């Protein structure tokens, strides 16, 4: 067995974006182009065995074998849905497991990636939130989901050399990505890197429940497409659905969104809105929403698209999904106001892979679970007849 100090010094190269890998290689006396070759082996070819990296000198391969590993995630299980969606569950140690979901469509392959084991935000309608929070994932664990999925799918789908399985990544799995900012940003950079996965900024989306200061930082460090989970047109209601609204109310959130657009790769923010029966789905609330995003409620106007997500129920939520006709009527009000609005198709429902159903296995190290399993207090909606 290796002595502890030696074992601890071994670096998992999945943790390093190209800049960090270059610095790490420099410390081994290697030039940048060697770091690029190594990075390409790992991320473009999915190679984890230094011995097989044929264009690297034997001396470098030996140095790598002594100082580093490419340590992928441990796969616990896979479930495939009738609609082609695949959900993988990965063991991340100490009783925690996280999920990634592949969603194939005719023109794209999207991977939904987790950023934390659990989530500390505790939104009332979210299965992950109900589980509580265990820990942040490392960069290697975040990008490792893409590493696994891309290389596994290339073989499984028998893709030709150079063909990619995954064209889009959405940080919409378990966890609040902006509460794990330091691990997230290098992982995003690896996704975007031409020597890595080469995804365009428009095809990598960070979804956040509204971490205002971190939205501003992301715009400086790594502007990718941004989705914001809005779910309510007023602070009174959002305070109850998304607890961090009490700290970062809607006017601050919309201000951060409008600043973000100055450096974003797209000229709109996607607002996600989970449709909850009798809670946030009335005509009056749709009109409030229009007023909010068009700058009539004190917050700045934010060019946006709406993505209405039918609520995916899970045991203990105490909530139900708005009826289909209600969702469509709500969408029509937004559309009539000139806002592009889509109703998200639910994918992978038969394998609990739909939005908000990802629950993995999380050791709740917070009191979130206790708080959220208290009997649900009916949330007061605006009167449906209100103008």
Contacted by 322, from ligand SAH, ligand SF4, none: CB < 5 to 8 Å by type? none
Residue nearest ligand SAH, CB atom distance: 356
d(CA 78, CA 91): 12
Residue span binding ligand SAH (CB under 6 A) among the ranges 3-11, 44-52, 248-256, 306-314: 306-314
- Bridge partners (DSSP) of residue 269 are 304
From candidates 24, 311, 322, 347, binder to ligand SAH by CB under 6 A: 311
Q: Residues binding ligand SAH: what is the number (CB under 6 A)?
A: 16
Residue span binding ligand SAH (CB under 6 A) among the ranges 120-128, 149-157, 160-168, 252-260: 120-128
Residue span binding ligand SAH (CB under 6 A) among the ranges 18-26, 202-210, 249-257, 298-306: 202-210
Between strands 86-91 and 116-118, the pairing is unpaired
- Taking CB under 6 A as the rule, does residue 208 contact ligand SAH? yes
- Taking CB under 6 A as the rule, does residue 177 contact ligand SF4? no
- The set of residues, in sequence order, having a beta carbon less than 8 Å from that of 248 and lying 6+ positions away, is 210, 211, 212
| End-to-end Cα, the chain, rounded Å | 72
Contacted by 309, from ligand SF4, ligand SAH, none: CB < 5 to 8 Å by type? ligand SAH
Q: How far is the CB of 274 from ligand SAH (least distance, A)?
A: 4
**Residue 222 falls in the annotated catalytic set:** no
d(CA 314, CA 122): 15
Contacted by 122, from ligand SAH, ligand SF4, none: CB < 5 to 8 Å by type? ligand SF4
Name which of 133 and 311 has its Cβ closer to ligand SAH: 311
Among positions 21-60, residues that touch ligand SAH (CB under 6 A) are: none
User: Which residue bears the tokens 């190594």?
Assistant: 38
Residue 97 near residue 107 (C-beta atoms within 8 A): no
The region that residue 229 occupies, defined by phi over 0 for left and psi between -120 and 50 for alpha, beta otherwise, is beta
Residue 95 near residue 361 (C-beta atoms within 8 A): yes
What sign does the CA torsion over 27, 31, 32, 38 have?
negative
What are the backbone dihedrals phi and psi of residue 114, each rounded to the nearest 5 degrees, phi first? Answer: -90, 150
- What residues make contact with ligand SAH under the rule CB under 6 A? 125-127, 172, 176, 207-209, 229, 272, 274, 309, 311-312, 355-356
Q: Which residues are catalytic?
A: 99, 355
């Amino acid at each position: 067995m290796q002595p502890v100090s030696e074992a601890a010094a071994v670096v998992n190269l999945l943790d390093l974006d190209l800049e960090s890998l270059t610095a790490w290689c420099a410390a081994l006396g290697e030039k940048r182009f060697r770091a690029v070759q190594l990075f390409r082996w790992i991320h473009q070819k999915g190679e984890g065995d230094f011995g097989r990296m044929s264009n690297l000198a034997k001396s470098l391969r030996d140095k790598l074998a002594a100082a580093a590993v490419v340590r992928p995630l441990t796969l616990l299980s896979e479930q495939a849905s009738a609609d082609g969606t695949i959900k993988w569950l990965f063991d991340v140690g100490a009783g925690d497991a996280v999920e990634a979901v592949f969603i194939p469509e005719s023109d794209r392959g999207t991977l939904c990636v987790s950023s934390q084991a659990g989530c500390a935000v505790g939104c009332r309608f979210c299965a992950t939130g109900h589980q509580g929070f265990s820990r942040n994932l490392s960069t290697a664990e975040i990008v490792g989901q893409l590493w696994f999925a891309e290389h596994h799918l290339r073989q499984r789908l028998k893709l030709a050399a150079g063909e990619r399985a995954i064209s889009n990544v959405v940080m919409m799995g378990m966890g609040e990505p902006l509460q794990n900012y330091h691990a997230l940003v290098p992982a995003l950079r690896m996704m975007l890197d031409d020597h890595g996965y080469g995804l365009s900024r428009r095809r990598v989306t960070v979804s956040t429940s509204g971490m205002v200061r971190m939205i501003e930082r992301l715009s400086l460090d790594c502007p990718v497409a941004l989705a914001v989970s809005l779910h309510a047109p007023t602070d009174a209601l959002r305070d109850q659905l998304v607890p961090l609204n009490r700290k970062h109310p809607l006017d601050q959130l919309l201000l951060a969104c409008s600043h973000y657009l100055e450096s974003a790769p797209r000229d709109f923010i996607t607002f996600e809105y989970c449709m909850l029966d009798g809670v946030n789905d009335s005509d009056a609330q749709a009109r409030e929403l229009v007023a909010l995003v068009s700058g009539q409620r004190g917050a700045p106007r934010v060019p946006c698209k709406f993505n209405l997500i039918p609520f995916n129920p899970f045991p203990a939520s105490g909530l139900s999904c708005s009826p289909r006709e209600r969702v469509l009527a709500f969408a029509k009000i937004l559309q009539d106001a000139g806002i592009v609005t889509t109703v998200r198709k639910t994918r992978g429902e038969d394998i609990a892979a739909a939005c908000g159903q990802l629950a993995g296995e999380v050791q709740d190290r917070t009191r979130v679970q206790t708080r959220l399993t208290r009997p649900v207090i009916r949330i007061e909606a605006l009167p449906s007849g209100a103008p």
